[in-house]
Structure formats: structure tokens, C-alpha cells
Structure 1
Amino acid sequence: MALMKQSRLFNPDAIQSILDDWPETFAEAKVIQQRLCEKILLQDQLSSVNYIAGVDAGVLNKGRQIRASVVILNATDATVVEQKSAVVDNVFPYVPGYLSFRELPAVLSAFLQIEQLPQLIMCDGQGIAHPRRFGIACHLGLITGIPSFGVAKSKLVGDYESPSLTRGSHKPLYYQQQKIGAVLCTRDNVKPVFVSPGHLINIDSAVHWTLTMGRGFKLPEPTRVADKLASRR
């Protein structure tokens, strides 16, 4: 199926083909995760980052639809230069570990409207900090060919020692004896977030960009703004 392919560069036609062949069952989704996780690259391949995308999604109409928002920010001053949203029918119920199959149809539909492509994508969700090492940030990065990582409000898998509640403090997140991310304090005296690489980026760079794009809130600006737009707050 088309989902078994990945883009080397952002390719709207290939993305539309993927959307047209979206899986319909959890069995299909699990097979896709198990196969595509082998294609994830965690070596940092960032070029100069001028624009960074924030991605988030929420539900509408009692869960019958998904609304996703993609916000493009200037990486220097965090100003919003473009924002797009899309609403699609919800084809997957909420089950931990399968978020990308629920949200990506709307996210990709929003991405297809974007004129200023980013050099980096920040997702509200997990990267490799996932039971099958294939969270939404991995899936989106592999499809778009754009370096991506996840910043999650809560842990999905893993063990860690709590960092001090001082901005910039962080501790490794481990799962099955492998380092899969970082538990990062983004604001003094506020509980940490869970950062993990998705594709074409490493843990250190993901932590760096999470802190760089912070503007005094717990969430970094790209996902904070995307969250407000997706939930219409």
C-alpha cells in the first residue's frame, strides 16, 4: 500500500496517494508501524532552520471529526508566518500507540495547503518514545521527508529520573534499556515535557529546539500555537 513508501522530499502527489490508501484496521496499522520503524533515521540531518512547523490536532462533533492545524513560525523570533487547518472524518478511535492513524489524515491535509515549507516539524505527541518506536512525529517525518520530533505532555512508555524543576534541566528517558528521549523542564516550577526524535534529528537537537522555541510557557511556541488553533481556543 502507499503508506509503505516514504518521501525523500516533500511531495504533495505522494502524500495525496498515501491519504487515498489510508489503512482501515488496527492490524494494518500495526504492520505499518513495525515495517516503517526500520526506516527511521536518528542522525541529525538539519540544514539551516529558518522556519519550524508546529502540529496538533483535536476532535470535533463528539469525536466524529478530527481538526488538525499546522502553524509555520519564524525560527528566529517565533512569529507566525502561516497557519492552515483541515477537518476530516475520524476513521480511527483513540487507542494509545495509534495516534498517527487517527490524526495524520487531517494533519497531512493541512500540510498540503502550506506555501512556506519548514525545515523542521515539532509535533504534539511522541517520536520514538513509543511501544513500537513509531509515534506520530516519526510517521509525519517519514512521509514528508522533513526532520521531525515530538513534544508530549505525558509519557507513553519509558522510565526516568525526574529532572529538577528549573528551565533547561533534563534527564534521559529509557525504554527497554535504550535511550529514547528526554524529560525536559521548559519552565521553572512546572512539570516537564517528554521530548523524543521522530526522523532525521537526534535527541540533543530535539531538546535544543524545544528550549529555543520556548516563550515563557510550558509548551514551546510551535505546538502551543497549533494547539490553540486546533482546539479553537
Structure 2
Amino acid sequence: MEIPPFPRPGSLEEALALQEALAGKVVVAGSLEGVRRIAALDAAHKRGRPLVAVAVLYDLEEGLLHVGKGIVPEKALFPYVPGFLSFREAPAYLLALKALPEAPEALLVDGQGIAHPRGLGIAGHLGVHLDLPSVGVAKNPLFGRPEGPLPWEKGSAVRLLSPEGRPLGYAYRSRAGVKPLYVSPGHRVGLEEALEFVKRLPTRFRLPEPMRLAHLEAGEALRALD
């Protein structure tokens, strides 16, 4: 797939200005109805080693189709700063996506969408950069608070709210009794539509299957570097 050049800010101030500009381009509207082929994205990194990103091309009817990998040397990584993860991981994700034999219809990203202090988590950043619908599914919260207690039943969800009360996404229980996931739209997807899409994904464990496969592939690729 065609990948536009990714801007590499030279300082945190430049990254902040770029992040705020891109956040203004995020569209929190749209449906994933009819979307069949997605790319699930996950990354793995260990200090002193390159960062490895994986894009799993997954067909919702056929299952796993292809795995693309992207590797960026540690010395080339943007510094780790909370809230600026996309500048660190996105270059490797773009390499992984470029390695796929075809472009996905949407992105499912291990990380935040608009549930981010400036409204541009890595799912939104990649979605805007590639002009693709994207959804963030994070294992841990970053920004926002649940509207109320989350029931323990499978499929339960409560809204995540900003300090001002603006909806950002959902805390979502993918399996009964497991820790919640945090689902937020990245780009070109509505709030409810993002949650409903994640609910429709095959899920045998805590992570939806495409994301579980990406997580496993990323870990295996990192171990292979050793």
C-alpha cells in the first residue's frame, strides 16, 4: 500500500504542535458496517533492542491472511514521552503496513483513539495520516474516567468521559470477569460504531482475535531478534 512520508518532529514542542494540528482533522463519525479486511496493529520493544511492529491482515470471514513486520532501531526512535507514543511507534507500524500485499479497509490499533489528552492517540494519528477508518483498543486507560461501574458480564460497556463530561469511548468487558479493554474511535468512525465493531470481532480470550494474533506475532518477532 502507498504510505505517505511520516513527519519526524525534532523536538517535543514540534511534536505537540503537529499533534494538535492533526487532532483538528480527526472525524468522529462513520460506520464500519460491511468492512471485512482489517489490519490489527501491535508493537513490542525491549530496552537496547529495535522496536518491532506487526500488522496482521485479517479477513473477518477467512481469518488471518498475512503478517507484515516493521523494525526501527532504538537509536532512531522518538523519545518515550507519555501522550506522544505515536511518534515513537508509528514509523514501525507504517513499515509493517507497507509489507502487506494489499491495503486494509480499516485499522485496529493497540492504543488510544480520541481517549487522549489532546484527542490524538496512536489510532487517530495513523488513521488521519493514512486516511483510513481506525479504532483504538487499549489494554490500559490513558485519559478519561468510566461513567459508572462496569458490570462483570461479557459484552458490558460504560462510557469513558473527559473531565468536562465529553464522551471519549468505552470501557468494555470482552469476556466475563476479565479486565476491561478501552475502546475509542481513532478516525472516520463514530463512538458507538467503534464499540459495536469491536463487539462483532471473534473473541476467545480478553483480546479480540485479530489483536491477539498481532500481540503474539509482535512478541515472537522481538524474541527472534535475540
Please report the TM-score for the alignment, with normalisation by the length of structure 1: 0.88
Of the three residues 86, 101, 104, the one matched with 2:70 is 86
The percent of aligned pairs where both chains have the same amino acid is 36
2:57 corresponds to: 72
Of the three residues 165, 168, 176, the one matched with 2:152 is 165
Q: Take 1:138 and 1:187, find their aligned partners in 2: how far apart are those partners?
A: 26
Q: How big is the shift at 1:212? A: 1.5
**Higher mean C-alpha displacement, 109-118 vs 187-196:** 109-118
Q: How big is the shift at 1:86? A: 1.2
Q: Which amino acid aligns with 2:117?
A: P
Local SS of the residue matching 1:54: strand
Q: How big is the shift at 1:71? A: 0.2
Q: Take 1:31 and 1:221, find their aligned partners in 2: how far apart are those partners?
A: 36
Gaps of 5+ in 1: 1-9
Q: Take 1:108 and 1:119, find their aligned partners in 2: how far apart are those partners?
A: 15
Runs (4+) of structure 1 exceeding 4 A deviation are none
Local SS of the residue matching 2:144: coil
Q: Take 2:160 and 2:140, find their aligned partners in 1: how far apart are those partners?
A: 12
Instruction: Please list, as runs of the form range in 1=range in 2, the aligned pairs for 1:50-199 lying within 5 A after superposition.
Output: 50-60=36-46, 62-77=47-62, 79-90=63-74, 91-160=77-146, 161-175=148-162, 176-199=164-187
RMSD: 1.6
1:202 corresponds to: 190
Preserved contact between residue 88 and residue 105 of structure 1 (Cα < 8 Å): yes
Q: How big is the shift at 1:36? A: 0.8
Preserved contact between residue 174 and residue 203 of structure 2 (Cα < 8 Å): no
**Higher mean C-alpha displacement, 99-108 vs 223-232:** 223-232
Q: Take 1:144 and 1:119, find their aligned partners in 2: how far apart are those partners?
A: 11
Local SS of the residue matching 2:159: strand
Whether 1:225 aligns to 2:213 is yes
Preserved contact between residue 73 and residue 82 of structure 1 (Cα < 8 Å): yes
2:26 corresponds to: 40
Q: Which amino acid aligns with 1:30?
A: L
Q: Which amino acid aligns with 2:153?
A: T
Q: How big is the shift at 1:64? A: 4.3
Gaps of 5+ in 2: none
Please report the TM-score for the alignment, with normalisation by the length of structure 2: 0.91
Q: Take 1:196 and 1:107, find their aligned partners in 2: how far apart are those partners?
A: 19
Q: Take 1:149 and 1:23, find their aligned partners in 2: how far apart are those partners?
A: 24
Q: How big is the shift at 1:93? A: 2.6
Local SS of the residue matching 1:31: helix
**Higher mean C-alpha displacement, 113-122 vs 195-204:** 113-122
Of the three residues 2, 20, 29, the one matched with 1:11 is 2
Preserved contact between residue 82 and residue 116 of structure 1 (Cα < 8 Å): no
Local SS of the residue matching 1:157: coil
